[in-house]
């Protein structure tokens, strides 16, 4: 039986951020009605995680940097058409749709944090438009999360790899002909089995 070669893609900081944000969003959702104090503090945590991720997007490991996975709107649209037609290319890191989703999720969580914090200020206390904005953003975040999970499951199925496991271990199957990868990904090629 041949061993599958793998490469390191996502560093520990990216993986800790990902699962920390997912957990904090779940806890914020569960505490939104009954435990306001917990909801507020976990909202601050989620916002702090996003601030860290933005910082890490400019200073972190090569595959964590925004420039490694942010693409033009045309490239994102082409990738989405490829997904619909079953002809999308495999990317070693985040694909163009995944990169766009990261931006959408980060912006939405930051806006949730901002509107939540504003509700604690005397100036905006009880403002209905602010509460409605916060709730609308929360609903939008749930839609984005559902789309994100669906995209991960589709890409996992189409490319015969477990992307959830990859976000736990930080490793993915080594590039194959036709895959999109970057030079730094090739430099991290590791011949150890997955």
Q: pLDDT value at position 182?
A: 53
Is 7:190 a contact under the CB 8 Å cutoff? Answer: yes
The mean pLDDT of 16-37, rounded to a whole number, is 94
Please name the residue that has the structure tokens 């589709």: 154
The pLDDT value recorded for residue 142 is: 96
pLDDT at 188: 38
pLDDT tens digits for range 66-104: 999 999 999 999 999 999 998 889 888 899 999 999 999
**Can you tell me the mean pLDDT for 39-50?**
96
Band (pLDDT 50/70/90 cuts) for residue 3 is low
Residues 6+ apart with CB under 8 A from 116: 40, 43, 134
Domains located in the chain, CATH noted: 5-184 (1.20.950.20)
- Enumerate the β-bridge partners of residue 5: 193
Interior/surface letters 158-167, b for 16+ CB within 10 angstroms, e for the rest: ebebbbeebb
CA-based nearest residue to 7, from 67, 61, 58: 61
DSSP structure string for the chain: -PPPEEEE-S-HHHHHHHHHHHHHHHHHHHTTTT-HHHHHHHHHHHHHHHHHHHHHHHHS-GGGSGGGT---HHHHHHHHHHHHHT-PPPBSS--HHHHHHHHHHHHHHHHHHHHHHHTTSGGGTT-HHHHHHHHHHHHHHHHHHHHHHHHHHHHHHHTTS-HHHHHHHSEEEPP-TT-B--HHHHHTEEEEE-
Instruction: Give the whole-angstrom CA distance, residue 98 versus residue 71.
Output: 10
pLDDT of 30 > 90? The answer is yes
Tens of pLDDT, residue by residue over 110-142, are 999 999 999 988 888 878 999 999 999 999 999
Give the per-residue pLDDT at 45.
97
- The residue whose two tokens read 């789309």 is 147
Cα(93)–Cα(99) distance, integer angstroms: 9
Distance CA 155, CA 20 (A): 23
pLDDT at residue 111 in the model? 97
């Amino acid at each position: 039986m041949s061993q599958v070669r793998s490469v390191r893609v996502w560093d520990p900081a990216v993986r800790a951020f990902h699962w920390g944000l997912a957990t904090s969003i779940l806890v914020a959702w569960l505490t939104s009605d009954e435990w306001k104090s917990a909801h507020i503090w976990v909202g601050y945590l989620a916002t702090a995680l996003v601030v860290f991720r933005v910082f890490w997007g400019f200073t972190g490991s090569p595959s964590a940097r925004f420039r490694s996975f942010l693409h033009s709107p045309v490239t994102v649209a082409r990738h989405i058409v490829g997904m619909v037609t079953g002809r999308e290319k495999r990317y070693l890191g985040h694909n163009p749709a995944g990169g766009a989703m990261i931006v959408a999720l980060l912006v939405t969580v930051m806006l949730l944090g901002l509107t939540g914090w504003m509700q604690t200020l005397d100036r905006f206390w009880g403002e209905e438009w602010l509460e409605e904005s916060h709730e609308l953003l929360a609903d939008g975040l749930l839609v984005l999360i559902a789309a994100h999970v669906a995209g991960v499951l589709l890409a996992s199925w189409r490319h015969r790899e477990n992307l959830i496991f990859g976000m736990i271990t930080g490793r993915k199957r080594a590039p194959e002909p036709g895959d999109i990868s970057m030079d730094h990904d090739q430099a991290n090629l590791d011949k150890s089995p997955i």
